[in-house]
Structure 1
Amino acid sequence: MSEPANSLRFDVVIDAVNLGAFTAIEGLEASYEVKTYDEGGENGFQHQLLGRVHYQNLKLTRPVDGSTKGLSGWFSSFRREGSGRPAVATIVAFNDNREPVAEWTMMGVCPVRYSGPHLSTDQAKVATETLELAHQGFLAQ
């Protein structure tokens, strides 16, 4: 058995642009609508048919520091420089030896929300920024 992926080690690349390391990724999810169909005369059985597939938005979070490119700039330039065309994004998970273990590639990726850090003198927390991405599904590996 190979070494498992470590949930602390992963990278995000969108259209060959490495956006750097993140501390959290949420939303690697897909689900089908299930439609039920009752067949006449058969009271003990119900057909379950797959409907549309729904892909959850990805939420990428990381601390704000001087070594990372600002996500706010990338978010703003996406429409301007990329002509707003959907992109391809890849998330790679690594093991403790920084060897790739798993990879998820999404097509039709578009940024939908950027959240900057919440700054306050009341709390001594690490400032983080969040990028939310919509996508049209996973590509087969």
Structure 2
Amino acid sequence: MAGEIQDSVWPQPKFYFTIKFKTLDSPVSFQEVSGLDTEAAPLEYRKGGSKTFSTIKLPGISNSGIVNLKKGVFSNEGKFNDWFNSFKMNSVKRENVIIELVDESGNPTMTWNLSNAWPTKITGTDLNSDTGEIAIETMELAHEGLAIINGG
């Protein structure tokens, strides 16, 4: 209501995040992350006798989506580009990826852990001499599990 003192608790802004790869020494900068979702399709279970029965719903196998990462193109990214390009040679190394939403002090407030992630698709930047935009590339990651942790 108007005139009341506001709570000091506010939702976390989504623009301050870090992405770490277990085998790399430092975080990799990304512009955008999407696809941090998981779901479990409900299964119906029939209980009771043949004449009177009811159904209950149970969680089925959980399924995680493809995670999309967008980043600016840099000329010198070394080890990250090696992993990024390895999927072409059918010898991709699976990587544990840690995505952290951080507060203004740099402390994690929410963490998403992707287990055994690997790139399934890489989309290079479009090129256009009429604009002054930066070059952006997109990488899609498949993974074997998503764990969500509040805090660090």
Return the TM-score normalized by structure 1.
0.76
8 Å contact kept, 1:38–1:46 = yes
8 Å contact kept, 1:4–1:95 = no
- 1:108 maps to 2:108: no
Shift of 1:41: 4.5
Deviation per residue, 1:21-43 (Å, 9 max, x gap): 21110011100011224555458
What CA RMSD, in Å, does the superposition of the two structures yield over aligned residues? 3.0
AA matched with 2:15: L
4+ aligned runs moved over 6 Å, structure 1: none
8 Å contact kept, 1:58–1:134 = yes
Deviation per residue, 1:92-123 (Å, 9 max, x gap): 11112322222111212111111111112455
Structure 1 residue aligned with 2:140: 132
Structure 2 residue aligned with 1:6: 13
Greater Rg by CA: 2
Calculate percent identity across the aligned residue pairs.
23
Q: Alignment length, in residue pairs?
A: 137
8 Å contact kept, 2:86–2:93 = no
**Structure 1 residues 53, 21: CA separation in 2 closer, same or farther (over 3 Å shift)?**
same
**Larger RCO: Structure 1 or Structure 2 (Cα < 8 Å, ≥ 6 residues apart)?**
1
8 Å contact kept, 2:86–2:92 = no
Q: Which runs of 5+ in 1 are unaligned?
A: none
AA matched with 2:86: S
Structure 2 residue aligned with 1:76: 85
Give the Cα separation in 1 of the matches to 2:121 and 2:87: 12
Give the Cα separation in 2 of the matches to 1:53 and 1:96: 33
Q: Report 1:1-141 matches (<5 A).
A: 5-17=12-24, 18-39=26-47, 41=51, 46-66=55-75, 69=77, 73-77=82-86, 83-121=91-129, 123-139=131-147
Structure 1 residue aligned with 2:5: none
Q: Which runs of 5+ in 2 are unaligned?
A: 1-7
Return the TM-score normalized by structure 2.
0.71
